[in-house]
Structure 1
Amino acid sequence: MRSFTTSDLNKQVGEITDAARKAPVIITHHRKPKFVLMSVEHYDRLRSADDPRRAYGPGETPEDISARFAAELDRLARGEGYDDED
């Protein structure tokens, strides 16, 4: 991911927004990442319920996903699916 400073943003807004149209860019302040600039289309894809990478907050996880996690945790708790080399 490309990175620019807040100073760059003031001087090169056209170049930075062109880069952000293609892929998200990081904006740093005092050498630390502070912001991400991206196209609205990219943001909408991230926010889409169809995106399998979607993150859920506490209490937001759909029941079907929650049930799959619970089943997998139960399976692992029973010791199935991996080798214990102890």
Structure 2
Amino acid sequence: MKQFSATELANKTGDVLAAAAQAPVAIARHGKPRFVVLSAERFEHLQARGDSRRAFHVADLTDAEAADLIGALQNSIDHD
């Protein structure tokens, strides 16, 4: 994913929006991605999927949640 700083967003808004029209872009503050900019079409597509997918940072998972995630990933690999 292409990344821009918050300063670049302020100074080069057109460039950021042009990139976001092609694919989601990350907006970083203090060197860490904090936001994602994507086209309305892509956002609507994600919403229309209707599933309960959510994003989590791995560091925020409990040990049990991490174990469940690893198990689910291994299960999906085994069924491919």
Give the % identical residues. Answer: 32
Kindly name which structure, 1 or 2, has the bigger radius of gyration based on alpha carbons.
1
1:26-68 CA-to-partner distances (Å, cap 9, x unmatched) read: 0000001100000000000111136xxx3357xxxxxxxxxxx
Provide the TM-score with structure 1 as the length reference: 0.58
Counterpart in the other structure of 1:14: 14
Residues 47, 6 of structure 1: alpha-carbon distance in 2 compared, 3 angstrom cutoff:
same
Provide the TM-score with structure 2 as the length reference: 0.62
Pair 1:55 & 2:52 matched: yes
Structure 2 gap ranges (5+): 55-74
Task: Return the structure number with greater helix share.
Answer: 2
Counterpart in the other structure of 2:4: 4
Task: Tell me the distance in 2 between the aligned counterparts of 1:56 and 1:25.
Answer: 20
Task: Tell me the distance in 2 between the aligned counterparts of 1:3 and 1:28.
Answer: 7
Counterpart in the other structure of 1:25: 25
Higher RCO structure, 1 or 2 (CA under 8 Å, sep 6+): 2
Instruction: Give structure 1 regions of 4+ aligned residues with deviation exceeding 4 angstroms.
Output: none
Structure 1 gap ranges (5+): 58-75, 82-86
Q: How big is the alpha-carbon RMSD for the aligned residues of Structure 1 and Structure 2?
A: 2.2
Task: Tell me the distance in 2 between the aligned counterparts of 1:36 and 1:56.
Answer: 16
